[in-house]
Amino acid sequence: MAERYVAPGFDPRMHAALHRLDLRVIRRLEGLLHGEHLGLRAGPGSEPAEARMYQPGEDDVRMMDWSVTARTTLPHVRDLVADRELESWTLLDLSASMDFGTVREQKREIAIGALAAVTVLTQRVGDRFGAHFLHRGRLRRWPARSGKAALMALLSTVAAAPPSGPVEPGGATLADALDDLARARGRRGLRVVVSDFLDTPPEAGPAAPAAWERPMRSLAGRHQVLAVEILDPRELDLPDIGLVTMEDPETGRTREVRLTPKVREDYRRAAQAQRAAVRAGLRRCGVPHLVLRTDRDWVVDMARFVIEQRRTAHRLARHTPAVPR
């Protein structure tokens, strides 16, 4: 029996819950090594590509497509697409707002688990994974590697990272991190963005999009992208507990606030508007959106999302013609 992955931030239930699932990559890849994903170019492989006219003396008669030949009454051969390896990169937001949690776990722990889950769900023969981190207003990179030992080292390193704390003015933002990821990693593959997206203004919309939308749209134009949003229930609603001292984790500023019914209602509406702005922004970018909460079983939510994503990939594959008519 295969040994299970166990590391800080990685729930042992994950392997059992997600053992038979895989996160489908439907965008074509480019690369030099052979793997288990569709490539951009024709070459040795097992996946059929387009049918074309047979060129005597140049084409191998063993590649003859007899069904197309019979239908057109002209000899046709079918090229094969080389199977390529997947290179996936995760942008993990470790800013101060991620060091927060009021229920089971902190948002950072959920984010680390999401990083591990996506890596396990997408790993095949020859695949590599790397990560970019936004931590204390600085951008850090983890080189792309493959194998269990690399995953364990990555998770242990992230779990050992100290809390972020307040960031000095001029520090890197989520938009800066997305720009860096797009510039540094041009090879086609999977890109996963794990963040709470709390720097999205509630009024963000088509007229005034969030700062991260432009680099996110640029990233989605070349790669398959998945956005994982991490939430805590206290970011959506406040309890009726009277006078409290609140702190902005990004700046360190504190303020005493009396949670009257009006203040709580205004907070709830602003939080709903902000979440709606995040959803609308990701929709405009054409990026799938997965929400994981600290008060829910995020492993179950991840499994449900993957199952739905597999159904979507199946429908797309079914409605994509293999041979041009």
Query: What does the pLDDT profile of the chain (325 residues) look like in tens digits?
Result: 333 334 444 455 555 555 555 555 544 444 433 344 433 333 444 445 567 788 787 677 888 889 889 988 999 887 654 445 678 899 999 999 999 988 878 899 999 999 988 888 877 756 889 999 999 889 999 988 888 888 888 988 998 889 887 777 788 999 999 999 998 888 888 899 999 999 888 887 777 899 999 999 999 998 889 999 999 999 999 988 889 888 888 778 899 999 999 999 999 999 999 999 999 999 999 999 999 999 998 888 988 888 887 777 666 555 554 444 3
CB of 117 closer than 8 Å to CB of 98: no
The residues, ordered by sequence, that sit 6+ positions from 241 with a Cβ below 8 Å of its Cβ are 259
Instruction: List domains and CATH numbers for the chain.
Output: 13-23+85-318 (3.40.50.410), 34-84 (no CATH)
The DSSP call for residue 9 is T
Angstrom distance (rounded) from CA 291 to CA 298: 9
List Cβ neighbours of 253 (8 Å cut-off, separation of 6 or more). 247
Q: What angle do CA 36, 192, 174 make, to 5 degrees?
A: 155
